[in-house]
Amino acid sequence: MARRLNWRAIRIHRSYSVDEAARALGVAKVTVRRWIASGDLSVIDNCKPMLILGDELSAYLRKRRSRKHKLHLDQCYCMKCRAPKRAAFSEAELTGANGKTAMVRMLCETCTTVMHKRISLQQVSRLSALVSLSGTHRFKHLGETNQPCVNDHYKTEA
């Protein structure tokens, strides 16, 4: 996983060479050169070495910083698509619940990857109005079931 670059390490009233910017951010010089070659980071290239203005570099780093996605109740974050996605076929499954929260499992509408989300028990009724919700509200423990265990292949006949 990529580490976040600290844009606060850059002084906005200073100009940096490629080497100085790389050392200040703790990245390789080729990374800074790649940012320049992409056209996203502007430089002063009429002098040698080419200089990067501190406020331009700081603004570039803040712009490329990822933001947290605010999800709607009927959305989960798909790790494959790297975006918030709704449930495929508007169906979700309530897989388990404990005292105050429940786990919801959905399929991504784009790539059908399994997505998970934890919601509060008060939100279960609101979610069931948005999607077709199936599953139980909580798992039963073995001691709470009326049916005996079907794993009888361990029994020895005498």
Look at residue 140 in the predicted model and tell me its pLDDT.
Answer: 54
Per-residue pLDDT of the chain (158 residues; tens, 9 = 90+): 356 788 888 999 999 999 999 999 999 999 999 999 998 899 988 888 899 999 999 999 988 876 666 889 999 999 999 889 999 999 999 887 777 888 999 999 999 999 999 999 889 889 988 999 887 655 455 556 666 666 666 555 55
- The answer to whether 87 and 46 are in contact (CB under 8 A) is no
The set of residues, in sequence order, having a beta carbon less than 8 Å from that of 78 and lying 6+ positions away, is: 84, 85, 108, 110, 111, 113, 115
- The answer to whether 40 and 86 are in contact (CB under 8 A) is no
Q: What is the CA radius of gyration of the chain?
A: 26
Look at residue 155 in the predicted model and tell me its pLDDT.
Answer: 57
Where helices occur in 26-122 by DSSP H, the ranges are 29-37, 54-64
